[in-house]
Amino acid sequence: MTDLALRKDGACGRITLTRPQALNALSWDMCLRIEAALDRWRTDPQVALVLIEGEGPRAFCAGGDIAEVYHRARAGDVAHAQGFWRDEYRLNAKMAEYPKPLVSFLHGFVMGGGVGLGGHCAPRIVGETAQVAMPECGIGFVPDVGGSFLLARAPGRLGRHLALTAARMGPGDAIHAGFADVFVPEAGWEALKAGLARTGDVGLVAQAPEPPPPSPMAEAQDRIDALYAGADVAAIAAALERSEDPLAPAALKALRRNSPLSMAVTLAMLDALQAAPHDLRAALRQEYRVAHRILDQGDMLEGVRAAIIDKDRSPRWADAFGAVPQDKVAALLAPLGAEELALPAPDGGETE
């Protein structure tokens, strides 16, 4: 395979996404192979830590391979997407609970599935080219791969802003929002990786950081908190319309462009997670409930068509802005019974 390189490099297990021509988009097969490598290295005494990186200058990973999901679903194979998401979310949980240090190097586009792959590691190193975002509402989906967990834990109401507008975070913003841990200039990455491979000492990361670039979102935190205080999307939009804040016009434009249903469901997801702020598993299970149904009951097929397939940027959403029936939101979030997401025990043993 040419889309992924898995190898031992000194004291490291090394995972390299090698699809730079596709911005290292994550496929189902890649998820399964990464999971198998992590399972092998979990008990390998030669592997002290695991390093994950993306090849090429443009992206760590710009997301999942949603074109494949679209074409399969259009052909009647919704189970393909359900299986992909089930296995991807299981990988996200394993990465977050991995018993050895898992070091991610985040550069260029880090979006959607890329956040799931690099955002649950520890430590998460971000470089100056990083553009981190959760753009799912723009394609009729919801923030997933544990992204809703990170958004719910972001300071104040910043998670609402990031989820509803797909605003991109530079390195300073990503650290402020809790999507990254330390800033290391990319010119020093190869030396740091070589040191990690040579020593297996994750403590080297603590010796490498520099002060991150400023975070415009941190500077705007109080204003964001005020603008996104509304109970629903319509109230948030009204606040943005009234505001003279310089961030309001772009935010309002994004809200009016995105799927009304996806935004309503996303707000409900983030609100529910306030009661479980440290429970990634709860977030993943909630995300899977939506993902399991979204191709039949949501806007995702239309959103992907408009953004990725036909590229006309003119999606015809099922619901009017600010007028999403609450029963549609509740139906997407309802428990799945026997189809609920099964996750491995934290020690890597049998599923819960």
Residues carrying an active site annotation: 64, 113, 136, 144
CB atoms within 10 A of CB 94: 20
E strand or H helix at 85: helix 78-96
Quick one: how far is CA 152 from the chain centroid? 12
In the numeric block, which tokens belong to residue 82?
């359900």
Closest CA to 169 of 231, 105, 213, 232: 213
In the numeric block, which tokens belong to residue 214?
């400023």
Whether a cis peptide bond, with omega within 30° of 0, leads into 45 is: no
Distance CA 255, CA 260 (A): 8
In the numeric block, which tokens belong to residue 241?
């319309």
**C-beta of residue 15 within 8 angstroms of C-beta of residue 53:** yes
Distance CA 239, CA 123 (A): 37
Distance CA 351, CA 205 (A): 33
DSSP string spanning 190-247?
Answer: HHHHHHHHHH--THHHHHS--PPPP-HHHHTHHHHHHHT-SSSHHHHHHHHHH---TT
Q: What are phi and psi of 202, to 5 degrees?
A: -65, -15
Q: Which residues contact 82 (CB under 8 A, 6 or more apart)?
A: 291, 292
Distance CA 75, CA 17 (A): 29
Helices (H), strands (E): how many in the chain?
Answer: 17, 9
